[in-house]
Amino acid sequence: MLLPRLFRLGNWVMRALPPGVRYPLAALTGRCAFFVMPRRRRVAFENFGQVLGLPWNDPLVKRTAQHAFGNYFKMFADFMLMDTLKPEEIRRMVRPRGVEQIDRVLAEGKGAVVVTAHVSNWDILAAASAVYGYPISAVTNDLPSGGLNELVIASRE
């Protein structure tokens, strides 16, 4: 199973690198992936074209898609660290704002459904919620690789 091995290797590399190296390297890797993943690149062009209201081949759409690849890989670099982050590290990474609305709803004693955008690192958001005292349940899909799926689930627990 290649994917679980690559995941473990990525995890080891990300832990070994300081953030000042980790994020630029991840962004560079993402921008390189942009050029070697034509199918994903085309999907990104189509999606960003739709969002920006421009044709898929507009220069702004192409720049935005390439930048998004870099950002996605930075998010993935953080994800690789999930099973090793300590609560104080998560607190340094995430400083919540606007939680008083959630607190007000929770004070009614009925729980709450909080919906977030599928943007940025949702795994860090979930970990931060737990660290700041908001237990959560999340709905996810299984990954195609069973071995990788098990590693991801373990990192989320």
- Asked if 47 and 107 sit in the same domain, the reply is no
The domain boundary, picked from 52, 81, 110, lies at 81
What is the spatial distance between Cα 134 and Cα 155, in angstroms, rounded to a whole number? 18
By C-alpha distance, which of 40, 104, 30, 102 is closest to 67? 30
- Asked if 102 and 157 sit in the same domain, the reply is yes
Burial of 38 (0-12, 13-18, 19+ CB in 10 A): exposed
Total domains in the chain come to: 2
Tell me what pLDDT residue 113 has: 86
Tell me what pLDDT residue 21 has: 93
What is the spatial distance between Cα 56 and Cα 45, in angstroms, rounded to a whole number? 5
Q: In one letter, which amino acid is 52?
A: L
- Asked if 64 and 90 sit in the same domain, the reply is no
- Asked if 131 and 153 sit in the same domain, the reply is yes
Tell me what pLDDT residue 1 has: 62
- Taking only the tens place, the pLDDT of each residue in 120-136 is 677 888 888 899 998 88
Structure-block tokens of residue 20: 């000042």
What is the spatial distance between Cα 78 and Cα 72, in angstroms, rounded to a whole number? 10
Tell me what pLDDT residue 56 has: 96
- Asked if 115 and 50 sit in the same domain, the reply is no
- Asked if 33 and 109 sit in the same domain, the reply is no
- Asked if 3 and 38 sit in the same domain, the reply is yes
* Domain extent at residue 143: 84-157
Residue ranges in the chain modelled with pLDDT below 50: none
- Asked if 8 and 68 sit in the same domain, the reply is yes
The domain boundary, picked from 33, 52, 81, lies at 81
- Asked if 73 and 13 sit in the same domain, the reply is yes
| 44 torsion bin: left (phi>0), alpha (psi -120 to 50), beta (else) | alpha
Q: Please tell me the number of Cα atoms within 13 Å of 87 on its side-chain side.
A: 5
- Asked if 74 and 140 sit in the same domain, the reply is no
Contact at 8 Å (CB) between 151 and 10? no
Contact at 8 Å (CB) between 115 and 148? no
